[in-house]
Amino acid sequence: MTGDPDAYRNDVGVLNVVNRLGLDGRTNWLMGLTVSEAARLSGICQYTIWDATERGEVLVVGQGKYRYIPWTDWFAWRKKHFAYKAKIAEVLASMGEETILKQEAMRLIHISETQITRYLLGGIIRAWKLPIGKRGEWRVSLADALRVKEERERGKLALETPQYAAIRQHSAEELKRLRDQGRIWKNRCESAWLPGYLTPYGVATEARIGIDRIRDDIRAGLLPAQAMTRGRRTIYAVAPEDAAAYIAKIHGVSKADRLSAAARRKTIAIREQGLLPVEDVAARFGVSPAAVAQWARLGKLPAQQMGRRLAFAPGDVAQFHPPG
């Protein structure tokens, strides 16, 4: 490098020169190139290259941390890959209309992945499945996705295609089979692991209140329940007599006291900091808590966010004049 036959560089010096040249000193360029280097030089996603190596489409040699793709194999696969991508682009261009991905259609229509899959397989939305990747890639007609979105919002979406009817029939049969095998609940109100006990959903249904409040009261000890852990989930079961006593108790209190245990704790915490919760402000002005929250959202009444609850400074409330 220097022209001096007596010059000497140690391993670190050689590595520094190699790095300055933009090369990776750890790569054996005679054997080939690593997947990361191939991705960097070609612009192809490295996961696509890894998938090709796992399918045996690209030869990989070497062992350990650094495995190499021989240059001849790499150039051959890269040429084939770019030709395949060009063919896919031609197919998309030949469709004659703008398309979007399946995930983009989900966000556009505001539906779940399960629902969009049923729409695609059931012929509700015009779409094409291209042979891209291991599982293929859906391309959805943008115009048809907008049509479905509009019809859903107006409540006029027709789900009457034979394919969609077959999907619903299959789902119903599968659900019945799982219920007959005892793999899912026959009744969401009855506990599957403690016969004769009620689930939190069952208690909420009987009490005509939200299930979140039932869970909060169970955790706070206000509603006795048996608990079982499955993985990260905790499943509760309530004895019928405990549920009956709990329902009778909550129906005997005033509406102002029907706050969940968690909400009561948050209200107390707000008051301990010298602030006013939504309920206190609403009682002061003789309006609903929803009206107070609306004032805060519109910026008419200054508020502080404490978790998911609103808190108000007494001074701001004293100077506030309700609209109207």
Q: Spell out the SS3 assignment of the chain.
A: CCCCCCCCCCHHHHHHHHHHCCCCCCCCCCCCECHHHHHHHHCCCHHHHHHHHHCCCCCCECCCCCCEECHHHHHHHHHHHHHHHHHHHHHHHHCCCCEEEHHHHHHHHCCCHHHHHHHHHCCCCCEEEECCCCCCEEEEEHHHHHHHHHHHHHCCCCCCCHHHHHHHHHHHHHHHHHHHCCCCCCCCCECCCCCCCECHHHHHHHHCCCHHHHHHHHHCCCCCCEEEEECCEEEEEECHHHHHHHHHHHCCCCHHHCCCHHHHHHHHHHHHCCCEEHHHHHHHHCCCHHHHHHHHHCCCCCCEEECCEEEECHHHHHHCCCCC
Report the chain's mean pLDDT, rounded to a whole number: 80
Cα gap 216→308, rounded to integer Å: 15
Cα gap 297→302, rounded to integer Å: 9
Rounded to an integer, the average pLDDT of 231-246 is: 86
Structure tokens at 314: 């007494």
pLDDT at 7 over 70: no
Dump pLDDT digits (tens) for 31-75: 678 888 888 888 888 888 888 888 788 888 876 667 788 888 889
pLDDT given at position 191: 80
Dump pLDDT digits (tens) for 76-131: 999 988 888 888 788 778 878 888 888 888 888 888 888 899 999 999 998 988 87
Rounded to an integer, the average pLDDT of 260-268 is: 68
Dump pLDDT digits (tens) for 143-172: 999 999 998 888 788 888 889 889 888 888
Could you tell me the pLDDT band of residue 14, with boundaries at 50, 70 and 90? Answer: low
pLDDT at 173 over 70: yes
pLDDT given at position 313: 92
Q: How far is CA 234 from CA 77, 193, 221, 229, in A?
A: 51, 12, 15, 4
Q: How far is CA 304 from CA 264, 274, 276, 291, in A?
A: 18, 12, 10, 16
Phi, psi of 74, deg, nearest 5: -65, -45
pLDDT given at position 41: 84
Share of the chain above pLDDT 90, in %: 10
Cα gap 231→237, rounded to integer Å: 17
More confident residue, 20 or 115: 115
Cβ neighbours, 10 Å, residue 277: 23
More confident residue, 148 or 22: 148
pLDDT at 139 over 70: yes
pLDDT given at position 38: 86
pLDDT at 308 over 50: yes
Could you tell me the pLDDT band of residue 23, with boundaries at 50, 70 and 90? Answer: low
pLDDT at 259 over 80: no
Cα gap 101→290, rounded to integer Å: 39
CATH code that applies to domain 261-319 = 1.10.1660.10
Q: What are the extents of the domains in the chain? A: 11-90, 95-164, 200-257, 261-319
pLDDT given at position 312: 92
Q: Whose CA is closest to 222, among 195, 193, 258, 266?
A: 258
pLDDT given at position 256: 47
pLDDT at 16 over 60: yes
Dump pLDDT digits (tens) for 275-290: 998 888 888 888 888 8
